[in-house]
Structure 1
């Protein structure tokens, strides 16, 4: 007996309405997004269902009330609902995952244990653990609605043919399970062929697939245009940054790209400067134009760094103003104002140095001179610095 009815076009349409930026986001369908609009009310709520959900399985009273009043299948008896949820708990589903799953698709409360086993088996065969399967399914609830025989299993086979082993498929799905929900023949496979046509070896494509899975889920015409544009900008197809350039261009519309170009031009960058930066570090162009401008303004305002410095080391724009750039700039200004340093570090040293290295170079040697005030500045508002208490205490005592 089939697990569920054939999904309607309306139920599948959510696959195509989700914006690309959320393709691999596990919180897209969280319990917070649950709406009773999904669960059509009927006049006679089931107090027995409510009792099972709240007292047996610790569902929130609000969600349980909505589910108990929903138009569930006739097979959804209190005993069946309790049996389904108990089974899923045995399969490592947490209460939070169950609430997300049932809140999205209440009809699972009337499904059979055999049906669940049938759907879980292909994922177990890949070597995925119960916890991993629970995470994948709770974050990608449509897996329980799509046909296993004509949809899920063929996609898993296609992925295995591409990647070469169950282990590689499992690794990919743990990173981004949307591959079993997307049309692989219209997206993944054509995109792989496009990269092959750019003389990228299959080994590197597989590496890119694991590191940047969303890039392979865009429409193939977008991938082709992005590849052509990256080549036009001078990004080498044999460079490791080529796929990063594709990722940025694939998720940046023409108008948005032009806004970034104009923003940089207004700041004094030439087109050659911009393309040089893009070739060296395309990822920084994934940020909003306003964000890029703010970081450039902070660096130029120091009077120590200019446009040529930023063009030479655009990776500096990938660091946070609040957590890294500004606190370090404050320390350097403090040192300079007290004539403790004559020269600031290069832009790469300012931004890329590890926290410990920056501390050892510009804080520890001047502990007595700059005192607690400046040391506090570098430790506050910069959570990523993670300076140990011992190091700070050592500096205070030195």
Structure 2
């Protein structure tokens, strides 16, 4: 096995471009792995580590070559094998292990005792091994953050804020970034900003669980975004209040103006725009192109106008391919065959589940519509959903 690995790796060494040109490079996350300092010297992959990764743990040859080349001084395939085997025993899947190794192959040099102590911190929160594996693989920085100075203090702050390990675990399952961000500069001051707006702590905790990443922006950005949301008239008591500063935090003023201009060009007044924003801020997080395409699709039916969209802006949060277009096509077909005299309201079209929409607008007219037309509109889509 090692001989085969050496032969494969030798071909890579003789032709440095062969690795860079391989078709599977999409798994490499960033230029982080190819620093200028490393680029100045050629690193020979370790065939022993390569063999362990490929034959013992089902890594692709490209990933194995990449990982082993990052460890030129590390010559302990036994440790690499034991670490990966230990993590597998603790519910890490092959895909999750690959994510960890992609981020930093040096985990292959960690000790099992070191891993055990890190995992125990999460086990003490009541998290299962599968949940821990998912949390760590979704935020690989956790393994490289200092437990004493970073992870444990963050957990303590979260516990003090949320009141129990169970609530901390619930939050981390949704967003593990709280363990690797500076909570003293993001979460804690952002909570105080919302409290200063007379928002009760219970609602802030609700917001934290429903939109956790909105709390991880810098506090000065949060303050500006909250002030703008208030100026736009988003009520503090609204269930969607936290969405507004969240959208504004991640939208530059220049891009915001582009979105406003696009909506105005499509026939929306400023009052219409801010009414939609107050009702459903999240639809403004879409790209200009996506927002424009959805509006144009609805207006092109001739059945729904700007006023309908302003009344029910949630429609702009629906997928064109999965919901809007198939349903518009269905209603257009029914109308062309005189099977309906009037189109349903936009809210009805959007809120119905697929099954309910089928029962209401397809099943009664199945024979009239024709199986071929139904297949074109729905069966293909259902197959896509099941993939």
TM > 0.5 fold call: yes
Q: Check conservation: 1:284, 1:318, Cα contact below 8 A.
A: yes
CA distance in 1, matches of 2:236, 2:350: 28
| Paired residue secondary structure (1:55) | helix
Which residue of the partner structure matches residue 333 of structure 2? Answer: 334
CA–CA separation in structure 2 for the residues paired with 1:112 and 1:142: 17
1:105 aligned residue: 104
In structure 1, the residue matched to 2:87 is 88
Deviates more, 1:263-272 or 1:361-370: 361-370
- Counterpart residue number, 1:37: 34
Structure 1 residues 46 and 298: alpha-carbon distance in aligned structure 2, compared to 1, 3 A threshold: closer
Alignment check: 8 A CA contact 2:131 2:173 kept: yes
Do the aligned partners of 2:43 and 2:72 also contact (CA within 8 Å) in 1?
A: no
TM (normalized to structure 2)?
0.84
When residues 120 and 296 of structure 1 are mapped into structure 2, their CA distance, relative to the original with a 3 A threshold, is same
What per-residue deviation string (whole Å, max 9, x for no partner) do you get for residues 280-318 of structure 1? 121211111222222221222222222111111111222
How far the C-alpha of 1:68 sits from its partner, in A, is 3.3
With 334-343 and 196-205 compared, the bigger mean Cα shift is at 334-343
Trace 1:263-282 onto structure 2 (pairs within 5 A).
263-282=262-281
Larger deviation: 33-42 or 182-191? 33-42
**Are 2:212 and 1:213 equivalent residues in the alignment?**
yes
Q: What is the CA–CA distance in structure 1 between the aligned matches of 2:80 and 2:360, rounded to whole Å?
A: 63
Question: RCO higher in 1 or 2 (8 Å CA, sep ≥ 6)?
Answer: 1
Aligned position for 1:67: 67
Deviates more, 1:285-294 or 1:37-46: 37-46
CA separation of 1:370/1:50 partners in 2, compared to 1, >3 Å: closer, same or farther? closer
Q: Any residues of structure 2 matched to 1:217-296 within 5 Å, and which? A: 217-296=216-295
**What's the CA shift for 1:164?**
0.7
Structure 2 unaligned regions, length at least 5 = 1-24
RMSD: 2.6
What CA deviation, in whole Å up to 9, does each residue of 1:226-255 have, x standing for no partner? Answer: 111111111100111111222211211111
Offset, 1:319: 1.7
Bigger Cα displacement from structure 2, 283-292 vs 176-185: 283-292
What is the CA–CA distance in structure 2 between the aligned matches of 1:153 and 1:374, rounded to whole Å?
59
Equivalent residue, structure 1, for 2:170:
171
Residues 1:73 and 1:123: Cα distance change in structure 2 (over 3 Å): farther
Q: Which residue of 2 aligns with 1:181?
A: 180
Distance 1:322 1:44 in 2: 47
In 2, the alpha carbon distance for the partners of 1:386 and 1:186 equals 41
TM-score (norm 1): 0.82
Counterpart of 1:47? 47
Q: What's the offset of the Cα at 1:44? A: 5.8
1 CA distance for matches of 2:287 and 2:181?
A: 28
- Tell me which protein shows more helix as a share of its residues: 2
Q: SS in structure 2 opposite 1:33?
A: coil
Relative to structure 1, the CA distance from residue 199 to residue 382 in structure 2 (aligned partners, 3 Å threshold; closer, same or farther) is: farther
- Once the two structures are TM-superposed, the CA of residue 159 in structure 1 deviates from its matched residue by 0.7
Name the SS for the 1:240 alignment partner: coil
* Matched pairs, number: 358
